[in-house]
Chain A
Amino acid sequence: MTSKAIEELKRRRQGEFKKKNSQIPYAVIVTAISLIIYTICIKLNHHSTFWMIGLLFGITLQRSRFCFAASFRDPILVGSTAILKAILIALIVSTIGFTIVEYASIGDAGELDKIRTLGQVYPVGLHTVIGAIMFGIGMVIAGGCASGFLMRIGEGFLLQVVVLFGFLMGALVGTWQFEFWDKILISKAPTVFFPDYVDFPIATIVQVIVLVALYYVADWYDKKNNIMVM
């Protein structure tokens, strides 16, 4: 290759680089619109916090290519637990965080009933098992979980709009048929909330220990099975 050809290649590369950069004006516009919506939400007192944190969720999911579907699929398909380990870390952080928030909100009186309504505490039973298996299958064949398809719509994937449409339909049909499942399974199932059985701080400590142990298991599994090691 002559120096001229390399210079030419360099120029072309630079051109591509510039062309790629041309989305910045759009980025500025969308950022401005997002901030305007934020101020409107504040004015109308309408879930402005949800809007702002939602934006940050979207940015974080996109920047880190965070995919829950992959965290379940990759250990099975290629033996990689990189995302699973990150989720375990996230669960450790949020277990500790949730404990502090809940503890602060109830004071030192043990009002467990109040905490229960704050978090995501629901009946567990056969319906959970059926739902989880269905969800797992759907997630893998659709190529994305609930947070994943929202993020990919933002990236410009038209396929994920189809997933969202299917998800919406499925969720509505499920809501409509909820009575059936509630009568045969859910209403008979117990709600297991760990602080009902052990002291709240102990529940936190045990859960963190279990999550840390799972992290090491995932790490060991990755080292043993990962076929994607570079």
Chain B
Amino acid sequence: MSGKFILKKQNKSIYLFRYKRFVTQRKGGEVLKNHDRILKKPWPYMVGGSILAILNIILFILTDKVWRVTSGVVHLGAYVLEKIGLRPSEWYYFSQNTGEGLGTGEMFIYNPYIIMNAAIIVGALLSTLWASEFKWKRIKSGKQFVFALLGGFLMGYATRLSFGCNIGGYFSAIPSFSLHGWVFALFMFVGAWVGSKILIKYLLT
């Protein structure tokens, strides 16, 4: 009787071992296939950062322009305003030497960063789909909604003061040897510190 019991126990441990191996396979253990490693497992930050930098350099070589995000958002917004009958092209901002004005016959919608921003969304969608991880994620609460709107507005407004967001004013500005990129980075820490306090006080409680 005891022999039978031991056999059963052995069986159990074999199954447990197989099951564990199966789970580690799914979670990205050593036995993971190569394409799964690229498509499913997150890439290390170092790899991601380096690829972003190299892509930015390639963009610079091919187009004489560097990666920016807000420029596209501003031009898309100006295009919409124009469609509803306003005249943003007469705004002071577009008449200044900010590199954002329109040439003759140019339209707001021609801005290359509009296409690039759309491509970033589609690119993220692509890689999510290839990993079969796509899922609509709903907004959890009214509080979250308000903070998202407010945070977005603050960021958007700030970009016009500091000439760029975390991409144009930081990720592309520091390699451009402009002091404003460094100052922007330094004081973003101050802002992030204040934001974290707000986050802890209102959002996480």
Interface residues of A (CB under 8 A from B): 1, 3, 6, 9-10, 13, 17, 20-24, 26-27, 30-31, 34, 41, 46-47, 49-66, 68-69, 72-73, 75-77, 82-83, 85-87, 89-91, 93-95, 97-98, 101, 105, 117-124, 127-143, 145-147, 149-160, 162-179, 181-182, 186, 191-195, 203-204, 207
Contact = CB atoms under 8 A, between A and B. Distances in A.
A171 B156 contact: yes
Interface bracket on B: 35 or more
A52 B61 CA distance: 14
A59 B122 CA distance: 8
Contacts of A27: 126, 129-130, 132
B45 A170 contact: no
Given A57-B123, A66-B48, A122-B164, A135 B177 contact: no
B119 A55 contact: yes
Given A166-B156, A178-B93, A155 B134 contact: yes
A149 B156 CA distance: 12
24 contacts: A3-B11, A6-B16, A50-B63, A53-B62, A54-B123, A58-B124, A58-B125, A58-B127, A59-B124, A60-B52, A64-B42, A75-B189, A98-B57, A119-B173, A121-B178, A124-B180, A124-B183, A127-B161, A128-B183, A135-B165, A141-B195, A146-B73, A179-B93, A192-B179
Nearest to B152: A166
B84 to A, nearest CB: 12
Contacts of B173: 119-122
Interface centre among A3, A56, A91, A172 (most CB of B within 10 A): A172
B122 A58 contact: yes
**Interface residues of B, dominant DSSP:** helix
A73 B196 contact: yes
Interface centre among A94, A105, A117, A120 (most CB of B within 10 A): A120
A167 B73 contact: yes
Given A57-B52, A58-B119, A64-B45, A170 B157 contact: yes
A179 B148 contact: no
Contacts of B54: 93, 97
Contacts of B157: 134, 170-171, 173-174
Interface in B137-165: 137-140, 144-145, 147-165
A86 B46 contact: yes
Nearest to A75: B189
B149 A162 contact: yes
Contacts of B126: 27, 30-31, 34, 55, 58-59, 154
Contact of B112 (A47, A152, A168, A179): A47
B161 A134 contact: yes
Contacts of A87: 49, 171
B124 A117 contact: no
B120 A66 contact: no
A203 B35 CA distance: 41
Nearest to A119: B176
A116 to B, nearest CB: 8
Given A51-B116, A166-B151, 18 more contacts: A26-B129, A59-B126, A61-B48, A61-B52, A64-B47, A69-B192, A75-B189, A94-B171, A122-B98, A133-B187, A136-B191, A138-B154, A156-B128, A158-B136, A162-B145, A163-B149, A168-B73, A171-B73
Contact of A58 (B67, B121, B135): B121
A176 to B, nearest CB: 6
Contact of A62 (B119, B128, B137, B138): B128
Contact of B156 (A20, A123, A170, A207): A170
B59 interface: yes
Contact of B134 (A10, A26, A142, A150): A26
B94 to A, nearest CB: 8
A165 B133 CA distance: 25
A158 B139 contact: yes
B199 interface: yes
